[in-house]
Structure formats: structure tokens, C-alpha cells
Structure 1
Amino acid sequence: MTEMTATTAADTFLPGGRRRHRKPRQNGTGTGLRRAVVLAVAMPVASAALAGPSAFAAQKGAGATAGTHGLDAGDQQMAKSLKTRVLDQRLGSNVSGVVLNADSDTAVWGHHAATALMPASNAKLATSTAALTVLGPQHRFTTKVVYGHGTLTLVGGGDRTLTTADLAELAKAAVAGLRAAGRTSVKVTIDDSLFPQPSLAKGWDDGYYPDTVAPVRALVVDGHGVQDTSIDAGKVFAGQLAAGGVTVTDGVTRATARPTDVLVARHKSAPLSDIVRTMLKHSDNNIAETVLRMTALGAGRPATFEGGTQVVRQVLSRVYGVSLKNVELYDGSGLSRADRIPAAALAQILELLTQPRYAHTLGSVLDGLPVSGEAGSTLGPEYGRFDDANSKCAVGKVYAKTGTLTGAIALSGLTRGKDGKWKVFSFVENGATAGPDAVKDAVDGLAATVNGCHA
């Protein structure tokens, strides 16, 4: 199927200019958006254009702010400061940045805003938006236990938050059923056929498995970073059965549940909205990759990297009108060094969070953004964020997704400026030679500039 991409003219981004993309025709409720996704995925391009192209893109050439007509005094000062501070030597020369005034529907500042760079974990913003739109914020992932022919089968349902306690409850129900049937021994198999066999995404290093990200399987317990998370979960389940007095014979093996197998018990995860919050707060790569595959299945596509990223692109462009010019996606977490997203596209995704009609569907993305200085998140003091003279004034005022790879640091989010209006920003740098901590301090200073506390 040919993909419709919302394109932008490269020379239409001007500070103070009107630039919000056309509003999709469907309503912003979860049901309306999910219906739109079905149409966008299933129908030809000519009939699937639910949103028009964005009206803004990066200015040609150096991308520096060419003027500040149409901006109030506060935004003019911000643009002037950013024009100078984006040239900070710590950031290097390969920087993409943009600031939007969401309340007044104007672009404030841009610097190479349409230049596509490695977004690192900022890619999770795209994954989250697509997942919540396709599956809905109340969607839950189901893990089942079925029985047949003397075998209990643990069936994975893509729940990356499954715990030993959850498996213990499933085992308790299974033990009760076996006892009622007069059985004291059983075989145990696992069925993780929901996902194809794990593979490395394009741009992933072989060394990522299993520490940075585990092989993507439909069954995992306690977030264990092991090569075969499914067999590992099966062993934990078998241990719980043994603790209940049932003998497990022949070890744990992989098999596909039969259609005639009887449902014994099932566990439902927390709502997707809660899972997305956790994923964003801690930048969890494993949750992101699992959610990407479940999003693909929800849209009727194969549960692969390719199927998932294709659905993400279709949701962003066809449902929300986000420009995908120069965007390349190969995974859901942003670990791929082949991923490319301009700051302009990231800002468009974040701008959706300021629109009340999308609050029901996408509200957990805003809730999940780390807050500057928030302990336990990727913007917390344990990561050395917002703790220097230029940025500490913005503690508690910036809501943003972090992104960190070797040679790539990004920060994209929202803050209320000195005028009290939402400012949406995205800063992405690649290839800086300064140390990561120095680069992060410089980027945090840019966010504090958007907030207005670092004048």
C-alpha cells in the first residue's frame, strides 16, 4: 500500500507565522480516533486523507531566526536568546531545534528544524501516540493459562509488565483445577507465537541483547533481561505450580496451544495508559518494543518492527497530519542508529497534547513526560539534569522526553512560558564532541530559555 505522507514546503517556517496543521475531520474521542485508524490503514490513500499537511517546516539555509514579526515581547526575547545559545560549542554544529507557541498558533523560533537527526528515545513519543490511538488508553494485555492433553500452556499476550505475583495467581487457579480433576503432575509449555521470532532492528548493535533491550517476545516476567524471556517465564510459572504441590514433568518447552485447550485462568495488565506513563518516565526500551508490536497487531499488521513502524507512520500522517518528511523509523524505542526524526516532527507530535480534543486518548503521554528535577525519572537529579546555574530555575516547570545514545542527545517537550502559554519545543543534537553531561546541561539551558526563567 502506498503511504500518504503529509509534506511541508521547506521555506514556509517563519517566526510569528501561522503554522498549525489542519484539524482532522473526526472527533477526538478514543472511539472516533480508533475508527479513523482503521480507515487509514485499510483504505486507499485517496480516501484515507484524514488530515492535511502541516503549514510549517524549517527555514532554508542556516535555519536561524530571520525575524520576529507577530511575536509578543517575551517570545521575541526568547527567540533572540535561542538564536545565540543554540550555537553553544557544547552542542556542536549538528543541531535541529524548534519552538512553537501552542496557544497562539504561531512558530516562535527554528534552527534547521526540518533536518532529520537520530532522535534516540524521543522516538518513543511516536510509538506512544500510535499505540494509544490504535489500541485505546484502556486496552489491557492478557496472559492466559490453558489445559489440554495433560499439559498446562502459558500463553503470552504481550504484557511486558507481568510479574511473579501475577504468575503465582495464575498457578493458584491451575493448581485448584488440577486437584479438582485428581491430577498431581502436569507438563508445562509456553506459547509465545503471538510475535514472530525476535530479530535485531536495522541500526541495532548485536551487543544490545539482552542488557539494553531483551529479545522481543510475547511473554516475559519481572522485566528479566535474558535471551529467552518466554522460557524464563515458563520456569517461574512451573516453580509456582511446584510450590502448590504439583509435580512438573519434562521441564518447560515451547509449543502452540491447541484450539481445543480449555481456559484455566487469565491475567489482565494495567491499562495501556498506565503502561505508557511508565515507559516514558523511565524510557523503557523493552516496553516500547513490545507496545510497537501490539500496535501492529491492533491495526491488523504483522507483529514485527516493519509492521509496527508502518502503522506508526500511518497514524501520525493520516490521523494527525504530522509531517513525515525526512522521517525514518526502524524500531519503537529509538535505539536504532538508523532512525531519523526532525525536531519539527517531534514538536508536531507534542503539540497534539495541548489540544483538548485529544486529551482522552493522548493524555497519558503528557502525564508520562518526565518533569525537570523529578526524582525517579530520566530528568531527575540522579541523572544530573536541570542542576546548573542556567537551568535549575526551571525545576518542576519543564515536561519533556529525554533521548540519549552515543553521539545523540535530544530533549522534546512542553513548558509554560513567562506569558503562561504552552510552548512546545524540540532540541536534537548529533555528533557533539563535548561530554554527554556537558551537552545535557546545554540542552537543559535551552529548555529553561523556552520557559523564560533563563532570560
Structure 2
Amino acid sequence: MHFAKWFHTSALLVGLSLLLGGCASVSQMSTPAALDKLLSDPALHGATVSLMVRDARTGSTLYQHNPRTRLVPASNLKLLTTAAAMDVLGPQYRFSTQLLSNGIRQGDRLTGNLYLRGLGDPSIQFADYQALAAQLASQGVRQVQGDLVFDDTWFDAERLGVDWSHDDETTYYGAQISALTVSPNTDFDAGSVLVTAKAPLRAGSPVSVDIFPSTDYLQLSNRAVSGPGNSYGINRRHGTNLLQLSGAVAPGRQSQQLVSVWEPTQLVANLFEQALAQQGIMVLGRRVMGGASPAAVTVLAEHQSAPLQELIVPLLKLSNNNMSEALLKAMGRQTANRGTAAAGVVAVGGFLKRQGMDTAALNQVDGSGLSRRNLVSSQALTDLLLAASKQPWFNAWYNALPIAGNTDRMTGGSLGHRLRATPAQNNLHAKTGSMGGVSSLSGYITDAQGRKLVFSMLTNNYVVAGAQVKALEDRVAVSLSRSED
């Protein structure tokens, strides 16, 4: 459904407003009937929708439907988290991982403890830990006469967000949060490993399994075989790193799946000990988990992440949950010296208040939007979009949003295959959101007259397939892109 031509006369606008009553209101917009028709689609029967459209330059409201109704935003919450992080931490903020010691050098021996201290970097990979070990080896150290301490105390020990579903526990997007973690890929899915199952040509034969990064921290129970159908799956038993593989993979094919680990710090410990051994460095003491680094230490090696303005690209394009949670806790540490989600939420609230927003009108409990206790309205999200557009870091943040119809993965992101061959293609910059019964789309779009609009559409409690609601979001976007004064 597309917009009809936008009307001009005030009389007609007033008449339409009276007809719409309390359901929707309009100001200086000529397509309320078209939008109302979209929102009356049978797919939305029994659902709740909050939709708001505003002029990006003036902030004036062009259309609203339940604008102050608070709904679960899913990943649209990342708009709040990342915008606040750009303000609180700054576009040039970098995460750091440090190799420290309180000992002294005696030839090739380091007398004292060796500390691996994580400051929350969700982008660090096994190769980076190998580089830290190589930096130590390049200084001539071959033996540590002390303990190897893994310090993840920059963040608290709460590994999951508030009210996250147990169904998400083994998924990469529900991975545990730690200040000392590791990512298996350049998407930065921290706290997970990549499991590849390869099926031999002979049906009935067991699949071979590779885990990356290679580690003996996980155990396998492999009942998966080569065979017809699409029944292959992996389950990680709660509280363990026992991966149970079952079902069938087509002969000669392979299946790759990211699986979260139990206690990411322990995985880092396993991998870093491997990295030290590869460099011929022997640690004579114990492995100590979660010990805090003392104040009087020497920095022996350090790895820094890319700056935040670059990290938000995979975060927003691919809707990365673990990166969002790391940012939230980093903001808590920055503003209150507490690496907790609660402190991070207060920091986000401080940013919103500085933009003149009413923080009492929303509820945030995590950084990613995975919790259903997050509640935001389209009014609040459009307020945020307007406020962000006035910030010095806006261009970097705006370009990090998914861009409709652009199939380059790090350009289009979650919108790469939506709205192609429409006026919204390479026009709409917006954040998507999806959970069971929840869909959201909020961002910026330019209409046919060159006027930039901000809009937010949140939909909850639908029972149809999510694709039907996504299709309605797309139709709203197309209508906005075709609208004319």
C-alpha cells in the first residue's frame, strides 16, 4: 500500500483529525488516511502499534498513532545505547586488553605474577591474544615464576542480562558478557565459538567436527551423521560446555553454527595458555581466575580495539548484542566506576536528560534489547533520532545504521535485502528489531521533495509470521519516501 498524494489544506487536515479521534493525530501531513489504512491491516489485528513520523529539521509531528505507548523495542534499544556511548565514551574510545606484571625480570625469567587484564573488548580475537604472547616473548621472557591471573573485574560477574530468555542461552546473540572475552570472527560475536560439522559422502557415517578457536575447553557428544533431511542441531547443556550434536547433515555438505560458551573468561584462559606455550613461555605457578590486578604493576604488552566510531558499524549493521552489553557496562565503569548494566543504564539516562528527554517515560534494563522488560515508545525513539542529528558524531552514527536495499553486508546490514527497487533503497537509514511477537523499525528517510523525516514504528503482540509485519514496515517506509507536499 502506497501513500496517496499528500494533501495541503488545513480544513482537510482538521476534518481528518476529527474523524480519526483519539486513535491517531496529524500535523502538517496529508496522508493520515493512507497510514491508517496500513495500520488497519489484518496482520495487526489484536496487536499494538506505536508509530510516529516527524520532520527531521523542525521536529514537528507529521503523524502519530499511540505515540506514547511503551512497547518492547527489541534491538531498536541499541539506538539509545550506541548514541549514549558516542556521547559518554566518545567516538575515539578504545577498549584495551593488557598483559601486566608485579614482578621483576631476571634474564629470561619473570619473577612475580603475570596478569591478563580485560577491559571489556568484545572485538578481541584469538590472534590478538597470540600477539600479546608474542610481545612478551620478544622481550626475552621464557619463564614466569608466579601465577597467571585472569582479571575480568572491570565488569561485574553478571554474565546475562535481566530477564533474558533461557531459550537464548546457547545462542551467539545470547552469549555471556565478560570483561575478558574472545570473538571467533570479524562480526565480533564475543563469547561464542564456531562449530563446523562436515558430513562424509557415505550416509550414516558420523560427521567430523571442528571448533574455532581450537580449544579443549569444550567437550563433544557427537550423534550427528551424514544423511538426508535438515535435522542437524547443537545443544549446550546448561552450566557446562558439553556440546550435544544430533540429527543429519546432507552428504558432502557442512554446517557452521555459532554456540555460546559457559564462562568466556575460562575460554580466554585456555586460549592464552595455548598462546604462551606456542611462544615457548612456561608458567610455573597456578591459573587464577577473576583476580584483580594490583595497582603497582608494569604494562608488558597491550592490545587496543578499533575506535568506537568504527566498532558501531558491525554493532548496528549486524545488531550485535554482546557488543551492546559491553558498551553499556563500559559506560557504567566510565561514569560511576562500576562495570554493571545498572550503572550503564544510569549513564544512558544522563545522556537522554541532557537532550531534554523524559527518562521517566521509558524503561531500559540492558544494552541490546534482548530483555522484554525494556519499554520504549515511538515518541521517545523519534526524540532520540532528532537529538542525535544535532551531535558532532552524528555522521558516523548515521552511516553505521543499516541502509535499505544495499546488499553489501557492512553497508546494508539487516536491511540489505529489504526495500530493493523502491525509493527507500539507499535512502532509508534505520535500525531493525525482532523478537517473538515483536518487530521494530526506526530511522531516517528522505521524501520525494528532499525533506528528511525521522520515524519509528514499534509493533508488539502480533501472532502472524514476523515477515508479514516486516512487510508492513517496508510499506510504511516506501510511502514516506514517495510522499510529496
Q: Could you state the TM-score of these two structures normalised by the residue count of structure 2? A: 0.73
- Partners of 2:449 and 2:484 within 8 A in 1: no
Within a 5 Å distance, the mapping from 1:144-183 to structure 2 comes to: 144-147=98-101, 148=103, 149-179=111-141, 183=143
Alpha carbons of structure 1 residues 374 and 251: separation in structure 2 relative to 1, 3 Å: farther
* Equivalent position amino acid for 1:156 in 2: G
Provide the C-alpha distance between the structure 2 equivalents of 1:260 and 1:184, rounded to a whole number of angstroms. 18
- Partners of 1:125 and 1:365 within 8 A in 2: no
Give the equivalent residue in structure 1 for 2:63: 109
Provide the C-alpha distance between the structure 2 equivalents of 1:454 and 1:204, rounded to a whole number of angstroms. 43
Alpha carbons of structure 1 residues 213 and 62: separation in structure 2 relative to 1, 3 Å: same
Provide the C-alpha distance between the structure 2 equivalents of 1:150 and 1:207, rounded to a whole number of angstroms. 44
Query: In the alignment, which of 314, 318, 326 is matched to residue 350 of structure 2?
Result: 314
- Partners of 1:215 and 1:228 within 8 A in 2: yes
**Mapped pair 1:386 → 2:419:** yes
1:142 Cα offset (Å): 1.1
- Partners of 1:185 and 1:248 within 8 A in 2: yes
Give the equivalent residue in structure 2 for 1:214: 175
Query: In the alignment, which of 440, 446, 453 is matched to residue 476 of structure 2?
Result: 446
**Mapped pair 1:373 → 2:405:** yes
- Partners of 1:115 and 1:326 within 8 A in 2: no
1:184 Cα offset (Å): 7.2
Listed one character per residue, the Cα deviations across residues 217-271 of structure 1 (whole Å, up to 9, x for unaligned) are 1011122321211121222222111111123456743122222332111111111
Give the equivalent residue in structure 2 for 1:51: none
**Mapped pair 1:345 → 2:307:** no
Give the equivalent residue in structure 1 for 2:246: none
Partner-residue secondary structure (3-state), 1:161: coil
Give the equivalent residue in structure 1 for 2:456: 426
Give the equivalent residue in structure 2 for 1:401: 431
* Equivalent position amino acid for 1:206 in 2: H
* Equivalent position amino acid for 1:161 in 2: S
Partner-residue secondary structure (3-state), 2:143: coil
- Partners of 1:281 and 1:368 within 8 A in 2: yes
Partner-residue secondary structure (3-state), 1:322: coil
* Equivalent position amino acid for 2:402 in 1: P
Partner-residue secondary structure (3-state), 2:174: coil
Within a 5 Å distance, the mapping from 1:204-283 to structure 2 comes to: 204-211=164-171, 212-222=173-183, 223-225=190-192, 226-249=261-284, 252-254=287-289, 255-283=291-319
Provide the C-alpha distance between the structure 1 equivalents of 2:175 and 2:287, rounded to a whole number of angstroms. 20
Give the equivalent residue in structure 1 for 2:95: 141
- Partners of 2:148 and 2:286 within 8 A in 1: yes
1:140 Cα offset (Å): 0.9
Q: Which has the larger radius of gyration?
A: 2
Give the equivalent residue in structure 2 for 1:328: 363
1:394 Cα offset (Å): 2.0
Alpha carbons of structure 1 residues 405 and 307: separation in structure 2 relative to 1, 3 Å: same
Alpha carbons of structure 1 residues 217 and 439: separation in structure 2 relative to 1, 3 Å: same
1:424 Cα offset (Å): 0.2
Query: In the alignment, which of 297, 319, 328 is matched to residue 333 of structure 2?
Result: 297
1:326 Cα offset (Å): 3.0
Partner-residue secondary structure (3-state), 1:299: helix
Provide the C-alpha distance between the structure 1 equivalents of 2:271 and 2:394, rounded to a whole number of angstroms. 35
Listed one character per residue, the Cα deviations across residues 151-198 of structure 1 (whole Å, up to 9, x for unaligned) are 32110011110112221221111112343xx63777432100111112
Alpha carbons of structure 1 residues 407 and 280: separation in structure 2 relative to 1, 3 Å: same
- Partners of 2:52 and 2:455 within 8 A in 1: yes
Alpha carbons of structure 1 residues 374 and 159: separation in structure 2 relative to 1, 3 Å: same
* Equivalent position amino acid for 2:136 in 1: A
* Equivalent position amino acid for 1:262 in 2: T
Higher share in helix? 1
Give the equivalent residue in structure 2 for 1:22: none
Q: Which moved more, 1:105-114 or 1:80-89?
A: 80-89
- Partners of 2:177 and 2:191 within 8 A in 1: no
Query: In the alignment, which of 362, 368, 372 is matched to residue 394 of structure 2?
Result: 362
Provide the C-alpha distance between the structure 1 equivalents of 2:318 and 2:398, rounded to a whole number of angstroms. 14
1:115 Cα offset (Å): 0.3
Percentage identity across aligned positions?
28
- Partners of 1:131 and 1:292 within 8 A in 2: yes
Provide the C-alpha distance between the structure 1 equivalents of 2:356 and 2:58, rounded to a whole number of angstroms. 19
Provide the C-alpha distance between the structure 1 equivalents of 2:151 and 2:389, rounded to a whole number of angstroms. 41
Provide the C-alpha distance between the structure 2 equivalents of 1:129 and 1:16, rounded to a whole number of angstroms. 38
Listed one character per residue, the Cα deviations across residues 103-153 of structure 1 (whole Å, up to 9, x for unaligned) are 244210000010000000000111111111111111111110012344321
1:288 Cα offset (Å): 0.3
**Mapped pair 1:194 → 2:154:** yes
Provide the C-alpha distance between the structure 1 equivalents of 2:167 and 2:112, rounded to a whole number of angstroms. 40
Q: Which 4+ runs in 1 deviate beyond 6 A?
A: none
* Equivalent position amino acid for 2:464 in 1: A
Alpha carbons of structure 1 residues 301 and 327: separation in structure 2 relative to 1, 3 Å: farther
Alpha carbons of structure 1 residues 108 and 178: separation in structure 2 relative to 1, 3 Å: same
Alpha carbons of structure 1 residues 252 and 207: separation in structure 2 relative to 1, 3 Å: farther
Q: Could you state the TM-score of these two structures normalised by the residue count of structure 1? A: 0.78
**Mapped pair 1:435 → 2:465:** yes
Provide the C-alpha distance between the structure 2 equivalents of 1:362 and 1:418, rounded to a whole number of angstroms. 23
1:213 Cα offset (Å): 2.0
Provide the C-alpha distance between the structure 1 equivalents of 2:322 and 2:176, rounded to a whole number of angstroms. 9
* Equivalent position amino acid for 2:356 in 1: G
